[in-house]
Every structure is written in C-alpha cells, then in structure tokens.
Amino acid sequence: MAYFNYSARDQRGTVQTGELEALDEEEVVSRLQHRGLLVTSVVPKEQRASGGQTSGGGGGGMRPRTKGRKMHNSIKMDDQVMLCQQMATLVGAGVPLLRSLEVVSGQVESRKLMKALEEVRKDVQGGSTFRTALSKHPQVFSQLWLNLVETGEASGHLAESLTQLSRHFESAQHLQSEAQTAMTYPAFLIGMAILVMALFVYWLIPKFATMFASMDMELPMITRIVMGVSDFCRKYVILIVGGIVGGVIMLRKYLQTDPGMWMRDLIMLRVPMFGSLFTYIQIAEFSRGLATLLESGVPLLSSLQILENSATNKHYGKAVGQIKERVKEGKSMAEPMDQTGMFPAIAVQMIAIGEEVGELSAMTGRVAKYYEERVEIFISRMTRLFEPIAIVVMGGLVLIIVLSIFMPIFKLATGTPGK
C-alpha cells in the first residue's frame, strides 16, 4: 500500500484535495469517481514531496514531442474528432484529466490545437475548471464544446459528454465530406472540358486555320466562328488569364465580407440542382446539433443560441434566431420553424410530434438521420446523372469543333467552288 495526494472537483466545480492510501493510482481514481468526483491529478506522496513529474500530470509538464508527426497549422474536423475520441477514452478509463490532456496534446497533429491544449492543461493545473480553461480559446473550442463540457463536469459524466461531442463532430465531418464529394466530381469534369477546349483552341485549330487560308476558299459560318474564337483567345490570352485571376481574387475578398457571405449563402440555397443538397445539409447540421445539446442536458433556449451562432449558413442562422425569440415568448418550436419558410414540412411535423410527446431530443436525432440519408441519396443520384450530362456537353463541344474543321475539307473534296 502507498499514499497518494489527489486533486478533484465535485459537481459544483469546487476543488477537493486530500490523501488516500491505495495499491495504485487506478484504485485512487476509482474510489474518487465512486464519490462523483472528477479527478484532475493523482500523485504518489513521495513524488509530490520531491516535486517530480508524475503520471497524474501534476508536474511542470514537458512540451509534447512533434518529431515523427506530420504537423499542420490549421484545425481540421479530423483533429476535433480525434481529440474528443481520445479524451473520452482516457477520462472514461479513469485517467486523471491533467494526464489525459498531456497524453492527447502529444498525439494531435495540429500545432494550433497542441498549443491550446498545453495552455488548457496549465490552467486546469492552476485551479481552473476544464470549461473555464477551454473558454480562453474561442477560436479553437466552440460554444458547443463549452456547454457539453460544463454539463459533463457538473454531472460527473465528462466522458459521456466528450463521447457525444465526438459523435457530433463525426456526423459533421461526414456531411462535410459528402458536400466536398458532390462538388469535386463536377469540378473535375468541367476542368477536363476546359483543358480539352484549350488544346483545340491553342494547338489544333490554328494549324487548320493556316491551311484553310492558303486554299483561298469561302469557309462555312461555323468554321469562321470557331476560327474567330480561337484567334481572339490566342491574341488576348494574357488579358483573359489576368481577368480570370483578378476576378477570382476580387470574388474571394468580397465573399469574406458580411454582405458577400450573405450573398454566397443565398446562392448556395437557390442554385439549380445543388440548392436542395445544401438545404438538406443545413437541416441535418441543425438537427444533429440540437439533439446533441438536448441529450446533454443543455436547455432549449441555450441550445438555440449556440446553433444560431455556429450555423454555417447565415440565412439558417437568422432563421434559428427567429425560432429562439418565439420560443422565448412561450411558443412551441414547430410553429416558428414553419413560419421561417426554411424548414420542409416533414421536419416541422417531426419536431411538433417530438414536442407533444416530450421526446424532442430523440425526434431531432431522427430528423438529423433522415436528412443525412437524403444527402447521401442525393449525391449518389447526382453523380449518376451528371456523368451523362457532362459527356453530352463535352461531346457537343467537340462535335462543333470537328464539324468546323471537316466541313471545309468536305467542301473542297466535293469540288465546291471557292470565293
């Protein structure tokens, strides 16, 4: 048996320290968790006295090693998912919070996230609650993070809250991946079409244009148009490329402004074919986020406030804000949802049923699952539909160019008079 100094928090966030006699650190953690405490550190008494580094995370803390890891500067959705999964596993296994933070910061591949976790660990070690430490990094940890962690600390079920966070980020990552897939395939086909057209315009057509000019013959209208386009593109290539690059830069800067973001989000919801996809994604994101927050015990108004601020589409963020204001007045959620005009009837009806039977969190989860499935079905169908459309369009462009080249040759071969 040995003596261990421990530091833990009760459900009100009050720090409790003391000394326990046990076989090992795991027994100390288990006994403290049975009391409903959140363990932050466990240190053998001899090591605490000598000031050494311990597995409880109570020492000065070494900088995580980055050698051998492929580090990047941004924080990707993958980083958030892995952080939640690892923290949930470690805390659920009884590893003290400080030690969990130390281990996880040594595993992440984002420099920005690693730095934030190190600062969070130091703040927790200094006596801050986990939620307070996270709140000092709003660019890294969203309000969703803070509310679920606060709920987990207060209830003594931090591991469960982190698991819910992990599932939420996994769903968000899946939707993000589906949206990228939907946009990547058409972009690839369009890029290939542009490349083929450029090859014709800058290499093939000029060769035939020189040959036709030496024949002194009257060219068909389609040939003259194609030759004119080719000549214009070759003559003003610098202006065309410069205009495209300048236009892209100006568009990107405009889209970073508030009016630009509103315009972009409106176009995304109304663009032909893809408008339905982006609508499904927004409804799935809203429903999944609301289900996660409600299941964690976050009040409805607070949940709506979080979702209003974290919406990835400004028009849906505005709609959620309108719903929140009506709920404040004592209205049900379904009625203002319907009045915004942003939510399909089936989503409104499912929410209304959930409110009536007192199962709003479960019903919002079903709504999220339904629209996540709709996203997958839409992308599958669109991929199958877009391929033949792209083939027809590309084939039509190639046919126009081929006709413009071979019609004069056919005309010459049949002995039609020249000019």
The predicted-structure confidence for 400-417, as pLDDT tens digits, reads as follows: 888 888 888 887 777 655
Do 108 and 85 reside in the same domain of the chain?
A: yes
Do 226 and 337 reside in the same domain of the chain?
A: yes
Query: Is 402 among the domain residues?
Result: yes
Residue 1 has pLDDT above 50, yes or no: yes
Do 214 and 361 reside in the same domain of the chain?
A: yes
Query: Is 179 among the domain residues?
Result: yes
Query: Is 66 among the domain residues?
Result: no
Do 210 and 162 reside in the same domain of the chain?
A: no
Do 22 and 114 reside in the same domain of the chain?
A: no
Do 104 and 22 reside in the same domain of the chain?
A: no
Residues 154, 160 contacting (CB under 8 angstroms): no
- What is the spatial distance between Cα 404 and Cα 222, in angstroms, rounded to a whole number? 6
State how many domains the chain has.
Answer: 3
CATH number assigned to the domain comprising residue 24: 3.10.20
Do 107 and 233 reside in the same domain of the chain?
A: no
**pLDDT higher for 361 or 54?**
361
Do 278 and 415 reside in the same domain of the chain?
A: yes
Residue ending a domain, among 31, 50, 69, is 50
Q: Of 136-140, 150-154, 203-207, 310-314, give the lowest mean pLDDT range.
A: 150-154
Q: Of 44-48, 259-263, 384-388, give the lowest mean pLDDT range.
A: 44-48
Residue 68 has pLDDT above 80, yes or no: no
Do 174 and 162 reside in the same domain of the chain?
A: no
Predicted pLDDT of residue 249: 95
Q: Which of 116, 109, 101, 102 is nearest to 69 (CA)?
A: 109
Do 147 and 282 reside in the same domain of the chain?
A: no
**pLDDT higher for 268 or 175?**
268
Residues 6+ apart with CB under 8 A from 54: 41, 42, 43, 44, 47, 48
The predicted model gives 299-321 an average pLDDT of 90
Q: Which of 130, 121, 110 is nearest to 66 (CA)?
A: 110
- What is the spatial distance between Cα 216 and Cα 214, in angstroms, rounded to a whole number? 6
State the pLDDT confidence band at 55, using cuts at 50, 70 and 90. Answer: very low
pTM: 0.66
- Among 10-19, 97-106, 178-187, the range with the most confident prediction by mean pLDDT is 97-106
The predicted model gives 287-292 an average pLDDT of 89
Q: Of 147-151, 310-314, 323-327, 363-367, give the lowest mean pLDDT range.
A: 147-151
Do 194 and 126 reside in the same domain of the chain?
A: no
Domain assignment of residue 329, given as a range: 168-419
**pLDDT higher for 299 or 190?**
299
The predicted-structure confidence for 315-346, as pLDDT tens digits, reads as follows: 999 999 999 999 999 888 999 999 999 999 99
The CA angle 177-183-189, to the nearest 5 degrees, is: 130
Amino acid at 303: S
Continuous segment of H or E residues that includes residue 15: strand 15-22
- Among 56-65, 366-375, 393-402, the range with the most confident prediction by mean pLDDT is 366-375
Residue ending a domain, among 141, 167, 193, is 167
The predicted model gives 308-321 an average pLDDT of 91
Residue ending a domain, among 125, 152, 167, is 167
Predicted pLDDT of residue 62: 47
Average pLDDT of the chain, as a whole number: 82
Query: Is 385 among the domain residues?
Result: yes
> What is the per-residue DSSP string for 76-93?
-HHHHHHHHHHHHHHHHT
Query: Is 56 among the domain residues?
Result: no
Q: Return the exposure string of 309-328: e unless at least 16 CB atoms fall within 10 Å of the residue's CB, then b.
A: eebbbebbbbbbbbbbebbe
Residues 132, 106 contacting (CB under 8 angstroms): no
CATH number assigned to the domain comprising residue 181: 1.20.81.30
Predicted pLDDT of residue 129: 84
Q: How many other β-carbons are positioned within 10 Å of the β-carbon of residue 339?
A: 15
Residues 186, 386 contacting (CB under 8 angstroms): yes
- What is the spatial distance between Cα 20 and Cα 42, in angstroms, rounded to a whole number? 10
- What is the spatial distance between Cα 392 and Cα 295, in angstroms, rounded to a whole number? 49
Residues 6+ apart with CB under 8 A from 218: 418, 419
Query: Is 72 among the domain residues?
Result: no
Do 150 and 259 reside in the same domain of the chain?
A: no
Predicted pLDDT of residue 38: 67
Strand partners, 9: 15, 38
Percentage of residues of the chain with pLDDT beyond 90: 21
Query: Is 6 among the domain residues?
Result: yes
Predicted pLDDT of residue 330: 87
Query: Is 275 among the domain residues?
Result: yes
The predicted model gives 232-252 an average pLDDT of 90
Residue 387 has pLDDT above 70, yes or no: yes
**pLDDT higher for 151 or 372?**
372
